[in-house]
Structure 1
Amino acid sequence: MGVFFSSSNSNDGSSSEPSRVLAFHSADTWKSHLESSKDSNQLMVIDFTAKWCGPCRFMEPIMNEMANSFTDVVFVKIDVDELKEVAQVWQVEAMPTFVLVKKGQEVDRLVGANKDELKKKIEKYSGSD
């Protein structure tokens, strides 16, 4: 219904595994997921993206790789055109924007397609502090 594992294609074709990145298409389903994450210390990385955004398309296979590498982290993709109200709540003004969340609260964010910086931030916050 509102949530599914994104069928993003693999960047090298070597993996037939489905992506571990959750894509949300309903604000209510997203709110429910966010609410349930408040009891967990697990890091969630929200990728605010748009179909028309070139840097977002560049980051898509990288997000899939990171989701497979950081199996203790929840990766989420939200299309800003599809869920405008969610993007507004998180004050997303440029794409891609990656918001790192723990216990329902933003702990950091990255604006732009900087895979090395994103990886550093994930490594910093993915521990169980």
Structure 2
Amino acid sequence: MFTQLVRSARPATASFRSTGVAVRTFHSTRIARDHFLDANEDAFTKRALDESSAKPVLVDFYAAWCQPCRVLTPLLKGVTGPESDYDLMTVDVDEHPDLAAKYKVTALPTVVAFKNGAVKNKFVGFKGLADINKFLGLL
């Protein structure tokens, strides 16, 4: 009975599993277009190592279990995107350990700035918004 009520009252944007539990569908927004979240090695190579791109890419190496990463990523999202001079890419170190090792990620969070396909700057650990803006000013 409950499942029938839930199914009849479901919004148009949600889909349901056989259990009757809603599964959220996500839509891309204008801001999310220049955010490359949970990038794999192919996406990393195509965007961060692109020598023809003059727009710097901040690569946020993170892990799902890292609490400072959970606080830093939204701050980075706020200063990057289509309206800014920077793009953001996030890379999960648990899923891509070879990529993290290649860029000497030994602590989390680690943010590496790429411009024209080369590393320009890097910081390790949580930074507040003022420190992030100083970091961006050095690129």
Instruction: Calculate the TM-score normalised by the size of structure 2.
Output: 0.69
CA distance, structure 1, for counterparts of residue 40 and residue 74 of structure 2: 23
Post-superposition offset of 1:70: 5.8
Match of 1:120 in 2: 134
Match of 1:30 in 2: 44
CA distance, structure 2, for counterparts of residue 17 and residue 103 of structure 1: 24
- For 2:61, the aligned partner's letter is F
Does 1:72 find its partner at 2:76?
no
- For 1:89, the aligned partner's letter is K
What is the Cα-based RMSD across aligned positions, in Å?
Answer: 2.1
- For 2:138, the aligned partner's letter is K
- For 1:61, the aligned partner's letter is P
- For 1:55, the aligned partner's letter is P
Task: Check the 8 A contact 1:24/1:30 in 2, yes or no.
Answer: no
Task: Check the 8 A contact 1:55/1:113 in 2, yes or no.
Answer: yes
Runs of 4+ in 1 over 6 A off after TM superposition: none
Post-superposition offset of 1:25: 3.9
Match of 1:43 in 2: 56
Q: Larger Rg: 1 or 2? A: 2
- Percent of pairs with identical residues: 25
Match of 2:94 in 1: 81
Higher mean Cα deviation, 51-60 or 64-73? Answer: 64-73
